[in-house]
Amino acid sequence: MKLPLLGLAFALVSQAALAADAAPALQDKQAFIDHLLGQMNQAEKIGQLRLISIGPEMTAQTIREEIAAGRIGGTFNSRTAAENRPMQDAAMRSRLKIPMFFAYDTVHGERTIFPISLGLASSWDLAAIAQVGRTSAIEASADALDMTFAPMVDIARDPRWGRTSEGFGEDTYLTSRISETMVRAFQGKSPAERDSILAIVKHFALYGAVEGGRDYNTVDMSLPKMYNDYLPPYRAGIDAGAGGVMVALNSINGVPATANTWLMNDLLRKDWGFKGVTISDHGAIQELIRHGVARDGREAAKLAIKAGIDMSMNDSLYGEELPGLLKSGEVSQAELDQAVREVLGAKYEMGLFKDPYVRIGKPEDDVPDTYAESRLHRDAARDVAKRSLVLLENREQTLPLSKSAAIAVVGPLADAPIDMMGSWAADGRPQHSVTVREGLRRALDGRGKLVYAKGANVTGDKAILDYLNFLNFDAPEIVDDPRPPAVLIDEAVKAAQQADVVVAVVGESRGMSHESSSRTTLEIPASQRELIKALKATGKPLVLVLMNGRPLSIGWEREQADAILETWFSGTEGGNAIADVLFGDYNPSGKLPITFPRSVGQIPLYYNHLSIGRPFTPGQPGNYTSQYFEEPNGPLYPFGYGLSYSSFALSDLSLSSKHLQRGETLQAKVTVRNTGKRDGETVVQLYLQDVTGSMSRPVKELKRFEKLMLKAGESRTLAFELGEDDLKFYNAQLQHVAEAGTFNVQVGLDSQDVQQQSFDLR
């Protein structure tokens, strides 16, 4: 049977789901859901809690049968109207015709891939980030997706963790602002709109703090640190209206998040008033057994539902165990109903009861080619990508390059379309990626000269190569050049010798910064370091273009290079954006959202650490101070750092008052001048320090920032308004308080080099 088109679908839902005489109008969400719940049998209820992955585990036929039998509530990983329509048709054949939803990890783009999240954060540009969320929603919804498992807002202070690439860095305030921006952009005017997708904030909670940066490891954390530093970004996303939360795989102080009643019921629902759906991460309910908190599947299912996991992702335990648990009374009808209610509520929010085909559309409107070039948003991708690039070094004004120069572009990542996209690249296609080599070629457009040589493989370590290639199902991620390293290097050196300048594109392949890609070192692999050494020996100016998904310890590379541009994984248009910056068509404006340590041994190293009793003072002997004696202290590059082709200066920091009365505000004013010869953007950052408190407080915390464009020679005075709320923190009793005392206002163009003024709170 060919199934329903839009109006008809609604009619079917109205007839069946609302069959009884007293069927409430769709406008009344609560009444509608209560009524529907009243019609559901137990199996149908349990079915709604099942979220399955579309993959090889089940055939399309079986999936449709299961849906028609009311045994599946939603899917993820299918991503076209043609794929999703038959599943929605099957749902419309089910007894109550409860619509399915279709989810996916649309994290930094759907088909047009934008920079990875860490790159987006480097832009410090909320308007640009909003554009990423909106464009992603437009593309994903056009391909029949209703929900995204994003934004990922886990604070990461240990760059060994491969998923550092997926988050927005180390800072609570910056990540919180981005979290709410992304949620609003994904969900648009309303998550029910045709071109909106429901945002699922993840991974709740504290996933970024896994011990040792080792993925899936435990998290142990004091409550004040949790409340002050790690929880606010999830809360910001929820307060911005996120429809759901994905629960983290890790344990928190010994209790796995998936079985954590305190986390999901007390904190999330009671304290924060969250009303949306909670979804377990992949297979997490089953994993409660290996966490050692459940003896068997039955206990795991019981713990999860009682703790507040509504939907179970790729995990059969709810289906297998809930009937028995309900029968024995170990799980109550009310507990089951509550979970079902949240799932139905999310479907309601996505507009699916009104029109199950709202994003699937009509078959005759299906696009003939999902991956058509015309469906991409290249201009937006290029614009955002160039804003995300961070200039780390530029000696002797090596950059920008001249378009009449002879350029050698070398390195294993110079022409690597898959790597441009970064991890979690949704439905991005490598053939759409503009690589750095291609971006330079297009920018030169026949002028100058461009020679290319690979120069090295990403890694010379066979075991690592095999590990990374395991990640891609379609084709090997990393194409290894079988020639001996010396031959590759020799070719690159010859290319360099013919050139005026060398652009070496080095760093990590995208799989090195991914789920399950934790590292013990932050160095660029040896094969690439050998290449850099040989290039340096040619005496040609050396520009390093870094691609990586975490801070790298690049102290040695810094000595070799004349210029360094951090590009993260910059997306579909990355090569063009990088060329825009290398040739000066765009003046770089990105700032680091995460500290670059000198070595892995310094980790964790983050700018907003607590005050301590024996701090190290630069320039003074380190003995009996908190430091490492083998290398200089402090970061290689601090949080908030990034250069421009222009220069900027701050002056005249002043406060409107030396005292802040509770309930009132004061203004911090500062003048910023473009002291260079080019127009450009910079990011003015305002930090606060609570000098003395009932607990040790951070040495500084970001509280405001503003990215602004200034013409050469132009200056502007910015005013930042600060109030009591900005001074609040969670004390040892977890009270959210602003304590009387002195506060330092520090304003800078990075977190280290700041001007300071003080005021008192009375």
Contacts to ligand BGC by CB under 6 A:
105, 149, 202, 281-282, 515
Tell me whether residue 515 or residue 580 sits nearer to ligand BGC (CB atom). 515
Q: What is the SS3 assignment for 236?
A: helix
Tell me whether residue 350 or residue 686 sits nearer to ligand BGC (CB atom). 350
In the block, residue with structure tokens 């951090």 = 566
Tell me whether residue 424 or residue 687 sits nearer to ligand BGC (CB atom). 424
DSSP state of 227: I
Distance CA 562, CA 501 (A): 10
Distance CA 195, CA 217 (A): 37
Distance CA 162, CA 550 (A): 7
Q: Which of 665, 612, 655 is nearest to 759 (CA)?
A: 655
- Contact of 5 with 81, CB cutoff 8 Å: no
Distance CA 421, CA 568 (A): 10
Distance CA 107, CA 116 (A): 8
Tell me whether residue 279 or residue 453 sits nearer to ligand BGC (CB atom). 279
Q: How many residues does the chain have?
A: 762
Tell me whether residue 281 or residue 573 sits nearer to ligand BGC (CB atom). 281
Torsion of CA 181, 113, 590, 633, to 10 degrees: 100
Least distance to ligand BGC, CB of residue 119, Å: 18
Neighbours of 576 (CB within 10 A): 23
Tell me whether residue 29 or residue 282 sits nearer to ligand BGC (CB atom). 282
Which structure tokens are listed for 632?
A: 């200089």
Distance CA 179, CA 185 (A): 10
- Any idea which residues carry the catalytic annotation? 281
CA atoms within 13 A on the CB side of 12: 23
Strands 542-547 and 563-566: parallel
What angle (nearest 5°) sits at the alpha carbon of residue 194, between those of residues 191 and 198?
Answer: 30
Distance CA 412, CA 415 (A): 7
665-674 sheet: strands from edge to edge: 648-655, 665-674, 715-723
Q: Which of 220, 226, 112, 229 is nearest to 169 (CA)?
A: 229
Q: What is the SS3 assignment for 43?
A: helix
Least distance to ligand BGC, CB of residue 256, Å: 14
Tell me whether residue 202 or residue 441 sits nearer to ligand BGC (CB atom). 202
Q: What is the SS3 assignment for 172?
A: helix
Tell me whether residue 105 or residue 229 sits nearer to ligand BGC (CB atom). 105
- Contact of 109 with 572, CB cutoff 8 Å: yes
Least distance to ligand BGC, CB of residue 246, Å: 6
Least distance to ligand BGC, CB of residue 208, Å: 12
- The alpha helices in 159-296, defined as continuous H runs, are 172-187, 223-225, 232-239, 261, 287-290
Name the CA radius of gyration of the chain, rounded: 27
Q: Which of 172, 256, 160, 167 is nearest to 215 (CA)?
A: 160
Least distance to ligand BGC, CB of residue 364, Å: 31
The letter for the amino acid at 90 is A
- The alpha helices in 480-610, defined as continuous H runs, are 485-497, 526-537, 555-560, 574-582
- The alpha helices in 425-573, defined as continuous H runs, are 436-444, 462-469, 485-497, 526-537, 555-560
Distance CA 655, CA 745 (A): 9
Tell me whether residue 55 or residue 713 sits nearer to ligand BGC (CB atom). 55
Least distance to ligand BGC, CB of residue 254, Å: 21
Distance CA 51, CA 312 (A): 6
Distance CA 289, CA 298 (A): 10
- Contact of 394 with 647, CB cutoff 8 Å: no
Tell me whether residue 166 or residue 491 sits nearer to ligand BGC (CB atom). 166
Tell me whether residue 202 or residue 403 sits nearer to ligand BGC (CB atom). 202
Tell me whether residue 299 or residue 515 sits nearer to ligand BGC (CB atom). 515
Neighbours of 446 (CB within 10 A): 7
DSSP state of 698: B
